[in-house]
Amino acid sequence: MPSVAVLGPVVLPLIAAAVIAAFGLAGVDLGRAAAGIGGWSSVAALFAVWVPVRSSLELILGQLGYGSAFDLRVDAVAFAFGLMITVPAAVLLSLQPRTWQESALSLLGVAAAMATVEGGGIVLTAIAGGTAATVAVVMLDIEDPRAWRPSWALLLAGWLALTWVGAILQVSGGTAIYSAVPVAAVTAPVFVLIAASAVLASCMFPWRTWPARLWARPSLRAAGITVGVLYPLGFYLLVRAYELGDGRYPSAWFNVALAVVGIAAGAAAAARAQAAATRREFLGEVIPGFGGFALMAIAIGTPLGLVAGLVLLATASALVACLALLPDRAGAASVLAIAAAIGLPPGLAFGGRVIGIEATFEAGDLLGLIGVAGAAAWVVWMVGGARAIGLPGGRGHPAAETFPRVSMLIAALTLVAGPALAVLHFGFANPVAGEVMPSAAGALAGGLTAVVTVSSVLPVVTLLVPLLVIAMATYAWTGTSAIHTQARPALFPLPGAAALDRARTAIRAATVPEQYRSIFNIRELEAAAAGGSPVLWLAALVALGFAVTR
Amino acid sequence: MPPEAIEIIAFAAVALVLVLVVAPATASRRTLAVRGGAGLVGTVAIAAAPTFELVLLVLLALGVLQAAVAGNRPFAVRLRAPVLAVAMLALALVLARVEVPDAVGRFAAVGLVAGLAAAIGLLPYIQPFDPEDPVTSSPVAWLAFVGPVLAAVIVAQAQGLLGPDAGGAFGTLLIGIGLLNMAWGTVASLWTENGVAAWRYSFVADWGLALCGLGLTVGDGRRAALLVLFGILLGRLPLYMASRRALRERIATDRPINLVVAAALAGSAPFAGFAARVLLLRGATQLFWPLALVLGLGMLLWLPGSLRLGRSLGVPRGRQAVGVAIVLAINVVVGLYPLPLLQAARL
Amino acid sequence: MIEVAAGFVAWLGASMVVLADGRRGLALGVAIATLGLAVLVLQDAGPLEAAAIALGGLLAAARCVSSGPAGWQIMPPGSTPRFVLCVAVGVLALWIAFSVTAGEGAPLRFAVLTVTGLAGARVLLGADAPALLTSVVLLALAIGAAAGLGDAPLGAWPYVAAGAVAAGACWVPVRVARAA
């Protein structure tokens, strides 16, 4: 395979975007078919690059001018995250109707996100990630300028921080190429910055941020693409951080801290989900919930935790497409989506969470407690999911952009794929662990039918196939006719929500007291600064002179 | 002539062409071409002057000529800043040329930095502004057209004039003034009531970055400064010209082009501003890492103001749309691959 | 001794420009300052350079006589702060030129510092175009004279350019229009 092939997953959607834009400017809307082709071409290119060789393929085209070479590579990590990004985007682009501008921008977003995960160095990743974030903001704004969208500064902050990480590594380690950074250069402060970039890039916070709030928009075309392409990128950084540190973070405390952040985000999402007033509000918390569990698992620092996190992220990416296509009405599609989301056995979410929690127990010490917290959060999700089935649907979305059957199919696939968990580990997640944790990768074993951990063997096919049969029988027996949608009380009130609301209201209502307004008057300040007063100018000169004598 | 200055003159020439392309139909293109051409000749003269005295004299002549052209602000107001700048630069020249103790030599650095700020129209020497002034007779002409070459020349001259101690003070002052302008420019471009003034402050903010880059005594700083100056000349200036009509008619639009322009103005990836920021962070990290932290936080301040400016562009049509598209394309290319520009400037 | 006297004359001329509002006062100030600077340049650089400075300054002075408010108007009522400024700048320049800095050419340093400082101050103080352009003339002449401060000879170009800028500055037509 020629190394230039790594350009395919990035360039093909770009070409599609250019063609769509060119025709659009000429007055011809190529429609969803062209957008879908653009999306799927990236998926196909990714497979074509990775599957035949199943090892890293790199393209280096010389320096760019900011200390980084044009270095793209497709390895196991790029392949896994590339699929998480491109597949849901391709599904959405193929089905949902869009204007040609939206299609072109969506494909630009996909290309930028692919460049992020293919970037061989941190600076290139930061530039591509920043581009993806910018495209997402533009995409959300042109779809509906009045609808809520995340702050641009918040989206870019993580990538700016990552740029600084790249600069630090270039200065202190001589390079910011993932595979070449000296382990000694990844110090604790540098890792803090990487972790902060990752947490900001995917907004993995215990409060309600854009991965949850975007689902409340009137239309989910741009929201689906945005969550699909941006949300995995923060996790990608944390996985690459293992590669930078030769399989580990600089201190075990970072593993603990990030796992705590993860379970805090997951548990908070569960708490909000169980108190949701509508089904859409509940479903909005699904992706942050998955993210929380995935972060907890990835942060543990063992290969088992890492592969569990990847399985959860892959499931989340499938659910992004599922949720964006799901209509806000009761029915089989909603039930299946909720079942897939809450980790009902024998789904992939179930298997991923089981393995993730087991990984925390095997890691021992404080991480075991985090596993207990994870189990508790999962229980809340289960109860919240049962409640959500009977909740009112929500505000509703344009019928033209919902596809209940496809949505149901995706949810069903994530449920019936549970018994194939070992296959997913073997073909999808284990190579990633082998790439970023080379010294510990031998701990992963089990083949295609069982997941082998340090302390036990989980024969997933044997265990989960009967569960699948039971679940299908139960569903066939009960059906959905008994479901009545109505407002339902929360399991428990959100702790601190009222206080938080009060504080938020107080901050928003805060004004400069009347007697101090003359002191802090922006208009007068501007007039003074830009008034060209000779006195001010001379005073400034004196001040500068004083400054250099210090 | 410093290679950086030659390159910036080339930027200025291309910028003049782009400005003529995107200028609103109501503006007299011939007047704009004549005055812009005169300004370009002035910048060439500044760059080509073999001694600092000649630079100052060209600057003085340019200041008088600019103050003499028709405009809304009084002659005295227009003349004051350039003449004061030349006076401060001349005093700095005297202190730099003669034998003085180190402590006094630092005042030469003060004069150079203050003179540079006054000539360009930066804090603390911001000129009074009239939004209705034609661009050629407004402070924007200094900020966006003459200033970049002048800064490159003065910094290059300062390296020969100042000793190590005063040179250190010069760099520190540039960074200090740069941070001040960065903070003020970004905040004021969001809060000021007038849209034209908001654009002026956005130039000031960009200059803050450029001064920080010039003040860093490492190669990356100068590279960053060159890219920021590129962004001023071939990004912000043509876009400002393109927005003049919409600003006058108080039109604000929310089309994709407005947001893309906002991204370019904010220095988001993949535009040239982001590459400049990468280099600036590299330079600051090499010199004093807390500075990189301050710069990084400051860079986030660009976004809100840029959204406002992007919306003030309106919906460009016809020739203007082509001009805006060219500006954006150039900025993307340089943002992704700035090496040829940096190599041409031998940086 | 001639140099010291020339330095004093340059200060006197620049002070007169600061203190005068009328066209004759301004023209006389320019002429006196030109004389002082030209003498200093003659001593320091040579006759060609001095002639360039003198010619530029005198042409500017000739133009000043015919534009601006009529009369001398030297030290009109309310000029005390300007007078104090002239004295203060002179004393400060004297201290810097003769005490703080070292090497030969102290009178030239004094003249350049004082003329530059007073010209800059005049621009900040005034609003009339003729007075401001007179300061520009002084500033240009002072910059030209400053070429003699360095160790390396810079040739005649700075002096010629300074003379040209000084001569041309007062002839620039000042227009104010309401163009959009």
Average pLDDT over residues A449-472: 78
Q: How does pLDDT run across C32-73, given as a tens digit for each residue?
A: 999 999 998 888 888 888 999 999 998 988 888 887 777 878
Q: Quote the minimal CA–CA distance from C125 to chain A in Å.
A: 8
Tokens describing residue A17: 């975007």
Q: What's the gap between Cα A329 and its chain centre?
A: 26
Count of residues making up chain C: 180
> For residue A195, which amino acid is it?
A
Scanning C76-105 for CB atoms below 8 A from B yields 96, 100-103, 105
- Mean pLDDT value across residues C130-136: 87
CA distances from A549 to A91, A543, B92, B110, C92 (A): 65, 10, 16, 10, 18
What average pLDDT does range A254-271 have in this prediction?
93
- Candidates A259, A223, A48, A244; CA nearest to A144 is A223
Residue A60 has phi, psi (to 5 degrees) of -120, 125
Q: How far apart are CA B12 and CA A549, in angstroms?
A: 37
Asked whether residue A442 carries a pLDDT value surpassing 70, the answer given is: no
The end-to-end CA distance of chain C, in Å, is 57
pLDDT at A439 over 80: no
Write the DSSP string, A108-131.
Answer: HHHHHHHHHHHBSBHHHHHHHHHH
> What is chain B's Cα-based Rg?
19
Q: Is C134 on the interface with B (CB under 8 A)?
A: no
Contact C125/A at CB under 8 A: yes
Place of tokens 């004759």: C24
Out of C100, C136, C179, whose CB is closest to B134?
Answer: C179
State the average pLDDT over residues A30-35: 90
Q: Give chains near C: 3+ CB pairs under 8 A.
A: A, B
Tell me how crowded residue A42 is: count the other CB atoms within 10 A of its CB.
Answer: 30
- Confidence class of residue A122 from pLDDT cuts 50, 70 and 90? very high
Q: How does pLDDT run across B66-89, given as a tens digit for each residue?
A: 888 877 888 888 888 899 999 999
Answer whether B79 sits within 8 Å of C132, measured CB to CB.
yes
A547: its two tokens? 């400054």
Q: Residue B79's pLDDT is what? A: 87
| Range A192-208 average pLDDT | 93
CB B57 within 8 A of CB C161: yes
Query: Cα–Cα distance between A19 and A43 in angstroms, integer?
Result: 18
Put simply, the answer to whether C125 touches A534 (Cβ < 8 Å) is: yes
Q: How far is CA B115 from CA A16, A237, B7, B85, in A?
A: 52, 46, 23, 4
Beta-strand relationship, A451-452 and A57-63: unpaired
> CA C35, CA C33: separation in Å to the nearest integer?
5
- Separation of alpha carbons A76 and A512, rounded Å: 55
For residue B14 the two structure tokens come to: 């291309």
A47-98 pLDDT tens trace: 999 988 888 899 988 888 888 889 999 999 999 999 999 999 999 999 999 9
Question: What type of residue sits at position C121?
Answer: A
Long-range contacts of C28-34 (CB under 8 A, 24+ apart): C28/C61, C28/C72, C29/C134, C30/C57, C30/C60, C30/C61, C30/C64, C30/C134, C30/C137, C30/C138, C31/C57, C31/C58, C31/C61, C33/C9, C33/C57, C33/C115, C33/C138, C33/C141, C34/C58, C34/C60, C34/C61, C34/C141
**Backbone torsions φ then ψ of C40, nearest 5 degrees:** -60, -40
Higher pLDDT, residue B263 or A391: B263
Q: Can you give the pLDDT at residue B25?
A: 67
Q: For chain A, positions 17-76, list CB contacts with chain B under 8 A.
A: 63-67, 70
Q: Name the closest residue on chain A to residue C123, using Cα atoms.
A: A534
Cβ-defined contact of C180 to B26 (cutoff 8 Å): yes
pLDDT at site C103: 79
If 0-12 CB within 10 Å is exposed, 13-18 middle and 19+ buried, where does residue C114 land?
buried
Least confident range from A264-273, B325-334, C171-180: namely C171-180
Cβ–Cβ < 8 Å for C113, C138: no
B315: number of Cβ within 10 Å: 13
Answer whether residue C180 shows pLDDT above 60.
no
Q: Distance between CA A382 and CA A390 in Å, rounded?
A: 14
Distances, alpha carbon C76 to alpha carbons C16, C67, C87, in Å? 12, 18, 17
Task: Give B126-171 pLDDT, tens digit per residue.
Answer: 988 888 888 888 889 999 999 999 999 999 989 888 888 888 899 9
Whole-number Å distance between alpha carbons of A362 and A440: 14
In angstroms, the CA B166 to CA B183 distance is: 26
State the nearest Cα–Cα gap between A27 and chain B, in angstroms.
16
Cis before A431? omega within 30 = no
| Amino acid identity at A524 | E
Residues A3 and A56: beta-carbon distance below 8 Å: no
d(CA C123, CA A534): 9
Q: Which tens digits make up the pLDDT trace of C102-113?
A: 878 888 899 999
What per-residue confidence (pLDDT) applies to C178? 46
Helices A8-25 and A100-118 sit at what angle, rounded to 10 degrees?
A: 160
Q: Give, in order, the Cα–Cα distances in Å from A503 to each of A257, A496, A498, A508, B114.
A: 27, 10, 9, 9, 45
**Helix residue ranges, H only, A175-302:** 188-202, 210-213, 221-244, 252-274, 279-284, 286-299
Tokens 């006389």 -> residue: C28
Distance CA B149, CA B170 (A): 18
Q: What's residue A80's pLDDT?
A: 94
CB proximity list for C66: less than 8 A, separation 6 or greater: C23
**ipTM > 0.85, yes or no:** yes
Over range A159-167, report the average pLDDT. Answer: 93
Q: Which three-class secondary structure state does DSSP give residue A63? A: strand
Helix (H) / strand (E) containing A15: helix A8-25
Helix, strand, coil percentages in chain C from 3-state DSSP, rounded to 5 = 75, 0, 25
pLDDT digits (tens, 9 = 90+) for A493-538: 777 777 888 888 888 888 777 777 766 677 778 888 888 788 888 8
Dihedral pair phi/psi, residue A432, rounded to 5°:
-65, -45
Q: Are A349 and A385 in contact (CB under 8 A)?
A: no
Query: What global pTM score does this model have?
Result: 0.90
Give per-residue pLDDT as tens, B226-244. Answer: 999 999 999 999 999 998 8
- Whether the CB-CB separation of C148 and B95 falls below 8 Å is answered with no
- State which H helix or E strand residue B62 sits in: helix B52-68
Q: Identify which of B126, B37, B130 has the alpha carbon closest to the alpha carbon of residue B85.
A: B126
Mean pLDDT of chain B: 89
pLDDT tens column, B282-333:
999 998 888 889 888 888 888 888 988 998 888 888 888 899 999 999 999 9
Q: Which residues of A touch C124 (CB under 8 A)?
A: 534, 537-538
Q: What is the pLDDT of residue B27?
A: 62
Residue A537 with chain C: CB contacts under 8 Å: 124
What pLDDT sits at residue B149?
A: 94
Best mutation target, C49, C123, C175, to test chain B (most B CBs within 10 A)? C123
Helix boundaries (H) for A398-492: 404-416, 421-424, 430-436, 460-478
Query: Which stretches within A26-177 are classed as H helix?
Result: 31-50, 76-95, 100-118, 122-143, 152-173
Q: Is C178 at the interface with chain B, CB within 8 A?
A: yes
C12 vs A: CB within 8 A: no
Chains near A with 3+ CB pairs less than 8 A apart are: B, C
**Which of A362-366, B30-34, C40-44, C112-116 tops mean pLDDT?**
C112-116
**C125, A523, B147, B338: CA torsion to nearest 10:** 170
Average pLDDT over all residues of chain A: 88
Q: Is A74 helix (H, G, I), strand (E, B) or coil?
A: strand
Q: What percent of chain A has pLDDT over 70?
A: 97
Q: Which residue of B has its CA nearest to A145?
A: B254
Chain A: residue nearest B287 by CA?
A171
As given in the structure block, the two tokens for residue A517 are: 């307004």
Q: What is the pLDDT of residue A45?
A: 94
pLDDT of residue A424: 85
What is the arithmetic mean of pLDDT over B257-280? Answer: 91
Average pLDDT over residues A263-276: 92
Tokens of B146: 């003459």
3-state secondary structure of A204: coil
